[in-house]
Amino acid sequence: MKLGVLFSGGKDSTYAAWLAKKEGYEIACLITIQSENKDSFMFHTPSILATSVQARAMGISLIIVKTKGEKENELEDLEEAIITAKKKYKIEGIVTGAVESVYQASRIQKICNKIGIECFNPLWQKDQIELLEDLIKNKFEVVITGVAAFPLDKKWLGRKIDNKFVEDIKKLNSEYKINPAGEGGEFESFVLNCPLFKRRLIVKDWKDYGEKNNWRRELEDVE
Per-residue pLDDT tens digits for 102-126: 888 899 999 999 999 999 999 999 9
Within this chain, do residues 10 and 61 fall inside the same structural domain, yes or no? Answer: yes
Q: With 70 as the cut, is the pLDDT of residue 44 above it?
A: no
Q: How confident is the prediction for the chain on average, in pLDDT?
A: 93
pLDDT at 40: 66
At 2, the pLDDT band (50, 70, 90 cuts) reads: very high
Q: Is 130 helix (H, G, I), strand (E, B) or coil?
A: helix
- Domain-ending residue, one of 120, 141, 170: 120
pLDDT at 101: 83
CATH number of the domain where residue 197 is located: 3.90.1490.10
Q: With 80 as the cut, is the pLDDT of residue 69 above it?
A: no
Number of alpha carbons in the 13 Å side-chain half-sphere of residue 62: 20
Within this chain, do residues 113 and 134 fall inside the same structural domain, yes or no? Answer: no
Q: With 80 as the cut, is the pLDDT of residue 173 above it?
A: yes
pLDDT at 23: 96
Within this chain, do residues 64 and 154 fall inside the same structural domain, yes or no? Answer: no
Query: How far is the C-alpha of 197 from the C-alpha of 209, rounded, in Å?
Result: 28
Lowest mean pLDDT among 66-80, 84-98, 168-182: 66-80
- Domain-ending residue, one of 72, 91, 120: 120
Q: What is the pLDDT of residues 128-141, one digit of tens each?
A: 999 999 999 999 99
Within this chain, do residues 111 and 160 fall inside the same structural domain, yes or no? Answer: no
Q: The pTM is what?
A: 0.95
Residue 74 dihedral angles phi and psi, to the nearest 5°: -65, -20
Residue 12 CA: distances (Å) to CA of 35, 75, 160, 205, 212: 18, 20, 15, 24, 26
Residue 78 CA: distances (Å) to CA of 32, 107, 185, 212: 9, 10, 20, 32
Burial of 147 (0-12, 13-18, 19+ CB in 10 A): buried
Range of the domain at 63: 2-120
Residue 72 dihedral angles phi and psi, to the nearest 5°: 70, -45
pLDDT at 65: 92
At 188, the pLDDT band (50, 70, 90 cuts) reads: very high
Within this chain, do residues 19 and 85 fall inside the same structural domain, yes or no? Answer: yes
Buried residues in 19-39 as b, exposed as e (16+ CB within 10 A): bbbeeebebbbbbbbbbeeee
Q: With 70 as the cut, is the pLDDT of residue 39 above it?
A: no
pLDDT at 41: 59
Within this chain, do residues 206 and 150 fall inside the same structural domain, yes or no? Answer: yes
At 42, the pLDDT band (50, 70, 90 cuts) reads: low
Lowest mean pLDDT among 59-73, 142-156, 197-211: 59-73
pLDDT at 78: 92
